[in-house]
Structure 1
Amino acid sequence: MTDRQTRDFSVVICVYTEDRWEDILAAVASVRHQSRPALETLLVVDHNPALLERLGGEYKKCAADGEVRVLANAGPRGLSAGRNTGIAAARGAYVAFLDDDAVAERDWLRHFHEGYADPRVMAVGGRTEPAWASGRRPAWFPEEFDWVVGCTYRGLPPGRVRVRNVLGGNASFRRTAFDAAGGFATGIGRDGDRRPLGCEETELCIRLSRALPDAVLLIDDRAVIHHRVPPAREHFGYFRTRTYAEGLSKALVARSVGADKGLESERRYTTRVLPAGVVRGLRDAVLGRADGAGRAGAIVTGVAVAAAGYLLGTLRARRGGTAFEIAPIAATAEAGMRADEPDETQRDGREPDRSRPGGADPGADKSAGDEEEAA
C-alpha cells in the first residue's frame, strides 16, 4: 500500500478572522506533520473575502496536489455551515475537525484511526488541553468547567471510552455518518465572537445515534490537541457569559431531541462531578490552599447561571423564537455555489442575509459538559 493510499483523513479547519492568522498557520502545520498523514486539509473561510484571498495565496503551492485547499463557506454564516462545506468537499473516508486556534499533537490522527477498527464506530473524539495565554490556569478557574474555554473538563473517565457525543473542535467522523444523519444544524453553533448558542455537536451526535442505533461514539484521551485560551477568556465575566449561553443552547437541544437525551449527560455531571468539585474547593480553602473557596464559588455560580439560561431558553423555544435547519450534506455545496468558489457575498464584501436560519446572531465556543461517562 502506498503512502497516498494510507491517507484517509480529511481535516476541516473553519476560520473567520485574520486576527488568528498565526494560529491558523500553526493549526495547519500541526496537521501536515502528523505521524499518520492526512489526505488533505480543508480551510473553510466564513464570509471573509480578505482572509479567503490571503489564505489562497499562502497555500497556493499546496493546493496544486490538494494537500491544503482553501474553500469559501457555501452556506449561511457560522461554524455549522462552515463544517458542512468542509464535509461536502471532503475526499477522505474520515472527516476530522480541528479548531483554528488549536494545534494537534503528532499522533492525533493515528489515535483517531485506531478507534475505527470496530466498524460500528462512527465518531472518535479526543482530549483538548487548555493553553492559557497567561501561562497558567487562573487560580479561581475550576477544572470541572474547562468546557467553558473549549477544553476537556475534569470528571471524564480516562482512556478510550464510549460517549453520547464528541466535541467538534477535536473530533472525527466516518464520512458515511453524515450520509445517514445529515450535517451540523445551522442556527446553532458559533458565529465569530457573537453571543453563543452552541451544542451543535451534541445535537448531531444524538441525531446520528437515532439514525444508526448500533453506532458507537468514542473519546480517546490519547488524541490530544492544545487549545489557545486568550486573555479575555481568563476572566470571570467571560465565564458567566459562556455558562449562561450554554444554558440557552441546552434548552434548544432538549426541545429538538427531547430532554431525556438532551440532558442525559448533564444530569450525571451536575449530580456527581460538580458536587465533588465544590467539596474539593472547600477542603482546599480549609487547608489554606490558594483560592479553593474561589473555585467552589465559581462552580456554584456556573450552575446557577447556566440554569437561568436554560429556563430562558426553554421559554424562547416554546414561543418559537429560535429555530435551526438540517440540510443533507449533498445539498450544501449545491446551494447556489461550488464549495471551492466564493459566493457573491464574498466577491463584493457584503454581509450575508441574516434572515436565513443560521445567519442570525448566535454562535459559541463548542458545546460543553457534554460527554458522558463510559457505558
Structure 2
Amino acid sequence: MKATPFRPYKVLNLELSEGIPELLPDGRYQGIFLVVWWHRIPLGALEILTQNSPLSPAQLTQQILPAITLPVGDRLLEHGFKASLPVTKAQLPQDFPPAYSALISLQNPLQKLSQQLEQIQIPPQSSVSVIICTRDRPEQLQHCLRSLQNLHHQPTEILVVDNAPSSDATKNVVAQFPAVRYLLEPQPGLSIARNTGIQASVGDLIAFTDDDVEVHPDWIFRLQQGFHDPRVMAVTGLMLPAELDSEAQLIFHRGVGGPGWKYRALVFDSEFFEAMKPFGVPAWFVGAGANMAFRREVFNKIGLFDERLGAGASGCSEDSELWYRILAEGWHCRYEPAAVVFHYHRKELEHLQEQSFQYMRGHVTALLIQFAKYHHWGNLRRLFVALPRYYSRLLWNALIKGFKGRNMTLITEIFGCFSGIGFYFSRR
C-alpha cells in the first residue's frame, strides 16, 4: 500500500484580546497547531485537524476553553490548578482538586491575569547577558539576532560564541549587529563554548538561547521575573515550534510536548529532588537548553558546564546535568512558561535520527557523571532498570505496530544509550 504523503501543520498564534475568528479549512495542511495568547501571555495550545473545520467563533471558543482553564486558574488561584511535579512511586503533597466554581466566579479573569503578571517585581541585581553558542549556521544565527533586536527589555549585552568555525561566515553576520559582541572559541564543544561565554560576560543573570531559535519580545523580562524568589538559581521557559512543515518536525514536537504543566509555572525544589533521588531525578523535565537562564553566582557555587557533555562531546544533557547539581545542592529551578522562544526543529528524518542518538548518548553519560559525583544510586537504577524496561515496551510495540511515528528513532536511541556508556568510560 502506498504511503500517504505527509502534509504539514500550520502553526497559528491566536491573541484572544483581538477576538476569536472563524477557522476555515485549508487543504494544504493536515491541521492547525493553535497557540492561544492573552496580551502576549501563552495560555494553552490545541491541534485541530483540517477535516474538523470550519469552526465558527463560538465553536472555536468551546475548544479553546478547556485548553486554557488550568493555566488561567494556576495564575489566579492559590489552590486547585497547580501543576504536579513529575514524581514516580513517591508521594508529594498534592494540590486540591480544581475549584472550577472559584475560577468561574472571578470577574474578568483574563484582565486579572495581565495585572497579576505585571505586578511581579524584577529582583535587584538582574542585569542580563545573553549568550548564543553557534557553529557554522550563519543564516539561522542572523534570524536569531534579529529577533533579539525586538526585545521590549534589552539585555545588558549579547555575546555570540563562534565554536570551532570552518569559515568567517558567523563573524561576518555578527558584524552586522554593532551591539553584539563576537567571541571565538577554537576548541569544539557546546559546553566549552558556554563556559567561554560565561567567563566573558558581565550580567547578574546569564541567559542562553540557540541559533535556531527566535525569541518572543518579552523573553528577557519574563526570565527576570522568574528570579523573584532568591532560592531560584535557574529559570527555563516555554519552547514552541516555529513551524511544523515536515514529519521530522512533527515527531520532535510531539516528543517534547508531553508534560501536562507546559503552560503552568512549576518550581523544582529540594522536596522534589529527595522524593525522586532513589529513582533517578528527572532533571531534564526542568526545561530546554535553548531557553534557560542562571544567576551568575551559581557557577561560583557549583561550577561551570561539564565539558564532557553537550554537542561536540557526549551529544547533549549539559543543561540537565547542571540543573541536577543545582537541585542536589539545595537550590531551586523554576519553569516559567511566560518566557517564550520559537524553535525551528530539524526538518529531515535523518537529522532527527542523529539528534535522537546524541540525546540518549548524552543522557546516559550524564547519569554516570551524576552518580560519580554524588553517589546517588537512582542514576544507576534509571540506567540499568528503568531505561531497559522503557525501551523493551517501545520495542515490543514497534514490532507489532511498525517503526513509524515516535518509533522511527527507537533503534538509534537504543544504540545511543550503549554509546553513552562507552563515551563515559573513555572520558573519565
TM-score normalised to structure 1 length: 0.64
Task: Check the 8 A contact 1:206/1:261 in 2, yes or no.
Answer: no
Rounded to whole Å, the distance in 2 between the matches of 1:270 and 1:34 is: 44
| Structure 1 residue runs without a partner (length 5+) | 63-67, 147-152, 282-292, 324-375
Partner of 2:355: 242
Rounded to whole Å, the distance in 1 between the matches of 2:292 and 2:172 is: 27
Q: 1:28 aligns with which of 135, 145, 157?
A: 145
Residue 257 of structure 1, CA deviation: 0.6
Rounded to whole Å, the distance in 1 between the matches of 2:149 and 2:357 is: 37
Rounded to whole Å, the distance in 2 between the matches of 1:120 and 1:23 is: 35
Partner of 2:344: 228
Residue 162 of structure 1, CA deviation: 2.5
Structure 2 counterparts to residues 208-357 of structure 1, below 5 A: 208-210=326-328, 212-213=329-330, 215-232=331-348, 235=349, 237-258=350-371, 260=377, 262=379, 297-300=404-407, 302-303=409-410, 305-317=412-424, 320-323=425-428
Cα-to-partner distance string for 1:121-160 (whole Å, 9 max, x where unaligned): 000011112233x6365597264424xxxxxx32241311
Shift in alpha-carbon separation, 1:207–1:118, aligned structure 2, 3 A: same
Rounded to whole Å, the distance in 2 between the matches of 1:140 and 1:224 is: 19
Answer with 1 or 2: which has the greater Rg.
2
Rounded to whole Å, the distance in 2 between the matches of 1:97 and 1:154 is: 23
Partner of 2:176: 58
| 1:13 aligns to 2:132 (yes or no) | yes
Shift in alpha-carbon separation, 1:23–1:315, aligned structure 2, 3 A: closer
Structure 2 counterparts to residues 40-79 of structure 1, below 5 A: 40-48=157-165, 50-51=168-169, 53-55=171-173, 57-60=175-178, 62=179, 68-73=180-185, 76-79=187-190
Partner of 1:98: 209
Rounded to whole Å, the distance in 1 between the matches of 2:216 and 2:407 is: 34
Residue 32 of structure 1, CA deviation: 2.5
Task: Check the 8 A contact 1:144/1:155 in 2, yes or no.
Answer: no
Rounded to whole Å, the distance in 2 between the matches of 1:46 and 1:108 is: 25
Task: Check the 8 A contact 2:226/2:235 in 1, yes or no.
Answer: yes
Partner of 1:167: 288
Partner of 1:332: none
Task: Check the 8 A contact 1:34/1:107 in 2, yes or no.
Answer: yes
| 1:83 aligns to 2:185 (yes or no) | no
Give secondary structure in 1 for the equivalent of 2:251: coil
| 1:125 aligns to 2:236 (yes or no) | yes
Report the RMSD for the aligned CA atoms in angstroms. Answer: 3.7
The code of the aligned residue for 2:181 comes to R
Rounded to whole Å, the distance in 1 between the matches of 2:380 and 2:164 is: 33
Task: Check the 8 A contact 2:241/2:253 in 1, yes or no.
Answer: no
Task: Check the 8 A contact 2:148/2:215 in 1, yes or no.
Answer: yes
Residue 305 of structure 1, CA deviation: 3.9
Residue 299 of structure 1, CA deviation: 3.1
The code of the aligned residue for 2:320 comes to T
Task: Check the 8 A contact 2:314/2:423 in 1, yes or no.
Answer: no
Rounded to whole Å, the distance in 2 between the matches of 1:315 and 1:303 is: 19
| Structure 2 residue runs without a partner (length 5+) | 1-123, 269-282
Partner of 1:363: none
Cα-to-partner distance string for 1:24-43 (whole Å, 9 max, x where unaligned): 22212222322222111111
Shift in alpha-carbon separation, 1:204–1:112, aligned structure 2, 3 A: same
Residue 306 of structure 1, CA deviation: 2.3
Residue 71 of structure 1, CA deviation: 1.3
Rounded to whole Å, the distance in 1 between the matches of 2:170 and 2:422 is: 39
Residue 170 of structure 1, CA deviation: 0.8
Number of residues of Structure 1 aligned to a counterpart in Structure 2? 282
Partner of 2:319: 201
Shift in alpha-carbon separation, 1:161–1:262, aligned structure 2, 3 A: farther
Cα-to-partner distance string for 1:316-341 (whole Å, 9 max, x where unaligned): 53xx3234xxxxxxxxxxxxxxxxxx
Cα-to-partner distance string for 1:238-289 (whole Å, 9 max, x where unaligned): 33333233222222111111275548999999999x989x99x9xxxxxxxx
Give secondary structure in 2 for the equivalent of 1:30: helix
Shift in alpha-carbon separation, 1:204–1:59, aligned structure 2, 3 A: same
Shift in alpha-carbon separation, 1:188–1:108, aligned structure 2, 3 A: same
The code of the aligned residue for 1:29 comes to R
Shift in alpha-carbon separation, 1:314–1:28, aligned structure 2, 3 A: same
Give secondary structure in 2 for the equivalent of 1:88: helix
TM-score normalised to structure 2 length: 0.57
Shift in alpha-carbon separation, 1:76–1:105, aligned structure 2, 3 A: same
Give secondary structure in 2 for the equivalent of 1:307: helix
The code of the aligned residue for 2:304 comes to G
The 10-residue stretch of structure 1 (104-113 or 223-232) with the greater mean CA deviation from structure 2: 223-232
Give secondary structure in 2 for the equivalent of 1:119: coil
Partner of 1:329: none
Q: 2:303 aligns with which of 182, 194, 202?
A: 182
Rounded to whole Å, the distance in 1 between the matches of 2:135 and 2:421 is: 30
